[in-house]
Structure 1
Amino acid sequence: MIFKIVVTTIAFSFCLNAVAQINNTTYPDSIAPVGVIKDISDSALLDIVQRQTFRYFWHYAHPVSGLARERDNTVQGDYYWDYINEAYDEPNFSKKTYGPEACATGGTGFGILATIVAVERKWIGYDTALKRLVKMVDFLNTADSYHGIFPHFMNGATGKTIPFGKLDDGADIVETSYLLMGFLCAKEYFKGDTPLEKYFRNRVTQLWNSANWNWHANGGNTLLYWHWSPMNSFDMNFPIRGYNECLITFIMAASSPTHAISPDVYFNSFVNSASYINDKTYYNIKLPLGFEFGGPLFFEHYTFMGVDPHNLKDWHTDYWEQVVNHTRINRAYCIDNPKKFKGYSENCWGLTASDSYKGYVAHCPQEDVGVISPTAALSSMPYTPEYSMQALKHFYYDLGDKIWGQYGFADGFSEEHNWYAKTHLAIDQGPIVVMIENYRSKLIWNLFMHIPDVQNGLKKLGFKSPFIKKQ
């Protein structure tokens, strides 16, 4: 078995795309990629998938700042920009390309969480990881931010904002919530008494205390706005409505010890939305919240990378029921396969936002173009472990020659169109590492849910959880 692994690793390494190769000698604790290895245990397979996916954040991080690059290619398809123009009402916003300097604020937060997993699994050293995180937090403390809120994209070498749209050239409160979720967990994890650990925690506290979440309520208690621009103020006019991936944004905003929103903002903006309560059944499965059929599966991944949905409840919803049932509905739709796309099956399922042959698409039952996104099923491992493991084995053993690479699984594929992505995205890679780990050990859940500020925020918004201390 050891000989087989070594031979497979060497053969696979020679096949890697030369353009994407990173000089591993510049990275301490280098992680070698491996190919498809047969006849291994489920535990060993999970190790391989988590570790190789983490390589995206360790070996492809921006060399200056350590931040997570947005993607490992630089071209967006026409379909993506049609989607952006329609969603943000920017018909004159021209198509762009982003180069290797573009780093993702939210993706960086996911990468921080993945780094904690990597240390715990001993893929990289504790001190080595801490030094990388210190470099990142120092960089961000001098990078562009707006009332402490960071932009969607920034230049990983200079810290300058890279506009995401004509009016979106400033603060992105949702992306910032993902970033600070990551840093707060790292602050909780690196709790030693060495000078560097103390320094790191202090720098994270600076970011956390500086973030003015309440600024995005625009002086009222009615709506929380996604964007603010130094040139255009709130002209983008994009309030955060529910139910979707932005639940964590309200939790973080309510948890702030310095600039917290009032609970009224959460209920008026997120809860009081036409697409919040569902309570319908699909494939005989009840869905408490969200769009028809639930929408893309990342709705149940981003928030719940940190927030443990077990026994998490509010006035209407049991969130464990929500995350499990949304996942089961998504899988049931793929098995039903009403559009008869090739490849969909009980072992090949998962619709969420990812690259496609049309560009970037928020795949879901209502936006189904025949593309399966591996992150959808794999990041659902805590919710549907049997079904997610079936999908993982199919992706790895049966399709590995087409979709397995140096950073884990390709972002998406379509057997119907004989299309297999060559790309990886930070916001899709991170949840795979973290959610598989939450399934295996609850590592990130336990870190995040033990943070006193987070407990206070959840309590303020009316959540009940075993983690919330009674006062």
Structure 2
Amino acid sequence: MRAQTVNPSELDPSDRDLLLKIQQDSLQYFIRSSNKDTGLTRDSSLPGSPASIAATGFSLAAFAIGASHGWIDDAYARQYLSKTLKSLLQQAEHENGFFYHFLDAKSGRRVWRSEASSIDTALLVAGALLAAQYYPGTPIAQWSQQIYDRVDWNWMMNNRELMCMGWTPENGFLSYYWDSYNELIILQALAIGASKNAIPKEAWTAWLRREEIYEGKRIIYSYSGSLFTYQYAHAFIDFRPLIDGDINYFENSVRATEANRSYSLRSMLQRKGYSPNSWGLSASLGPGGYRAYGGKPGEGVEDGTIAPYAAISSIVFTPDLSLKAVRHFYEKYRDRLYGHFGFRDAFNLDKNWWAQEYIGIDQGITVLMLENYLADGSVWKKFMANDAIRKWIELSGIKTAS
């Protein structure tokens, strides 16, 4: 595996200061966008946005990280975490422990006829378990474990080898299952490693590792090719020493990130916004609404829209390339692209379109990945200490490189 340093000791002080600014400003999204009574976090800054259960998971993680650095008063962070976890246990609507994708932030009731979502629940649980590691032996840790234990992971298997993406009261289980490589790894890890209602270890080998040789490099790729699919599990799990058969998923994300950037560069003559320092194809807002933009290998949907969070959150994989992109976005487009909560979601120079909004999960992945980069993998260290993760590694047959 290629050595990808996570130690930023050689960073220019001005670069470090900029990354810290982005991290702290992105953290402000969660402070300002979480309901004062329930703690549930808005999906986006769009007017009328409901709460998102995944954004709430990132919020739990972000508050714990912020307090560890003194960016948030520790008593305030404890109060927020306690309030939110109790709301999730007592108020937020769920089905067999699986939270609905979107909730009314004040009441915790399901909105938008959304599904009880397996992946969004996994991101919520991951955020709660991470917060628990920052506050061991406290009610915060106890409530986090209760949320985890309540999820009936087996129920979402629907008597199949693969886990379903969700369920609705109106139509039952969705017709879509987690059948190939993407962000599902965090879901599988938590479901296999659970102390209650765990799924069979055989589920780990049931999904497809779709691969392609792209520009001479073997890549296990996601269907969309969106960068977030190579980031979400890696925000929590340290894949650097882990080998699944002959796959190292950290190295795979390095290659996938480089391929995503390369795919953009191939279209530089057709797209004004693409350049060596301006890249990042991932799910984001766009001129026509929210889309799963991505590169090759994969579907490769693109229209010139760039999501700054995508390059920033790849910094553990491609530190030099990501840092140059950060500098480019900030120095060239700061007035249009940067605000109180860090980088806004996306932009498209071909259509002179600039998002005015922030998306909670995009600010969340930014906070966590910058924490891993700037703080010597601190999120990884805490999350990997969880018994459930150790159990998943053992049961799935994953090996640890010496």
Same fold (TM over 0.5): yes
Of 205, 213, 216, which aligns to 2:145?
Answer: 205
Match of 1:286 among 218, 237, 241: 218
Paired AA for residue 122 in structure 1: G
TM-score by length of 2: 0.92
The match for 2:389 is 454
Contact 1:221–1:264 (CA<8 Å) still a contact in 2?
Answer: no
Residue of structure 2 equivalent to 1:229 = 168
1:214-363 aligned within 5 A: 214-218=154-158, 220-234=159-173, 236-268=174-206, 270-271=207-208, 276-278=209-211, 280-291=212-223, 295-337=225-267, 340-363=270-293
Cα separation, 2, equivalents of 1:418 and 1:289: 31
Q: How does 1:34-183 map to 2 (within 5 A)?
A: 41-74=14-47, 99-100=48-49, 102-142=50-90, 143-165=92-114, 168=115, 171-183=116-128
Residue 117 of structure 1: CA displacement?
A: 2.0
Spell out the pairing of 1:4-23 with structure 2 (5 A cutoff). none
* 2-structure distance, mates of 1:339, 1:283: 20
Q: Which residue of 2 aligns with 1:373?
A: 307
Tell me how far 1:229 sits from its aligned partner. Answer: 2.5
Q: Does 1:413 align with 2:347?
A: yes
CA distance in 2, matches of 1:378, 1:412: 12
Higher mean alpha-carbon deviation, 258-267 vs 322-331, is at 258-267
The 2-side partners of 1:285 and 1:63 are apart by: 48
- Residue identity opposite 2:229 in structure 1: F
The residue matched to 2:368 in structure 1 has which SS? helix
**8 Å Cα contact 2:268-2:274 kept in structure 1:** no
The answer as to whether partners of 1:353 and 1:361 remain within 8 angstroms in 2 is yes
C-alpha distance in structure 1 between counterparts of 2:294 and 2:97, whole Å: 34
The AA in structure 2 aligned to 1:404 is Y
* Contact preservation (8 Å) 1:152, 1:164: no
Distance 1:216 1:266 in 2: 15
Could you say if the C-alpha distance between residues 126 and 314 of structure 1 is closer, same or farther in structure 2, counting changes exceeding 3 Å? same
- List gaps (5 residues or longer) in structure 2: 1-11
Question: 1: distance between equivalents of 2:274 and 2:27?
Answer: 27
Q: Quote how far apart the aligned CAs of 1:232 are.
A: 2.6
Higher RCO by CA contacts (8 Å cutoff, separation 6 or greater): 2
CA separation in 2, counterparts of 1:247 and 1:127? Answer: 33
Aligned residues of 1:221 and 1:265 also touching (Cα < 8 A): no
- Hey, what's the Cα distance between the residues in 2 that align with 1:401 and 1:161? 37
Alignment RMSD, CA only? 1.7
SS of structure 2 residue aligned to 1:161: coil
Structure 2 residue aligned with 1:89: none
Aligned length: 385
1:387 maps onto 2:321 in alignment = yes
1:190 corresponds to = 135
Mapped to 2, the partners of 1:449 and 1:429 lie a distance apart of: 23
In percent, how many aligned pairs have the same letter? 31
Specify the SS of the correspondent of 2:280: coil
Structure 2 CA distance, aligned partners of 1:466 and 1:306?
Answer: 19
Letter in 1 for 2:93: D
**Aligned mates of 1:231, 1:371 — CA distance in 2:** 35
Counterparts of 1:452 and 1:367, CA distance in 2: 39
Secondary structure class of the residue paired with 2:154: helix
- SS for the counterpart of 1:298 is helix
Gaps of 5+ in 1: 1-38, 75-98, 193-197
Instruction: Indicate the residue corresponding to 1:14 in structure 2.
Output: none
Write the deviation string for residues 65-94 of structure 1: whole angstroms up to 9, x where unpaired. 1121001014xxxxxxxxxxxxxxxxxxxx
Give the distance between the partners of 2:98 and 2:272, measured in 1 at CA.
44
The normalised TM-score by structure 1 is 0.79
User: Conserved in 1, the CA contact under 8 Å of 2:243 and 2:401?
Assistant: no
What is the aligned partner in structure 2 of residue 13 from structure 1?
Answer: none
Match of 1:431 among 359, 362, 365: 365
CA contact 2:57–2:127 (8 Å) conserved in 1: yes
Separation of aligned partners in 1, 2:193 and 2:128: 14
Partner residue in 2 for 1:83: none
CA distance in 2, matches of 1:53, 1:73: 16
Q: CA deviation at 1:288?
A: 3.1
Contact 2:345–2:356 at 8 Å: present in 1 too?
A: yes
Once the two structures are superposed, residues 36-72 of structure 1 have per-residue CA deviations (whole angstroms, 9 ceiling, x without a partner) of xxx9611111111000011100112122211210010
**Which string of whole-angstrom CA distances, capped at 9 and with x for unpartnered residues, describes residues 359-409 of structure 1?**
001111320111000111000010000000000001111110110011111
Q: Distance in 1 between matches of 2:357 and 2:264?
A: 23
In the TM superposition, what is the alpha-carbon distance from 1:435 to its structure 2 partner?
0.3
In structure 2, the CA distance between the partners of 1:40 and 1:398, relative to structure 1 (3 Å rule), is: farther
Deviation at 1:320, TM superposition (A): 1.9
Task: Report which stretch shifted further, 240-249 or 110-119.
Answer: 110-119
1:308: how far off? 0.8
Q: CA 1:392–1:183 in 2, change beyond 3 Å: closer, same or farther? A: same
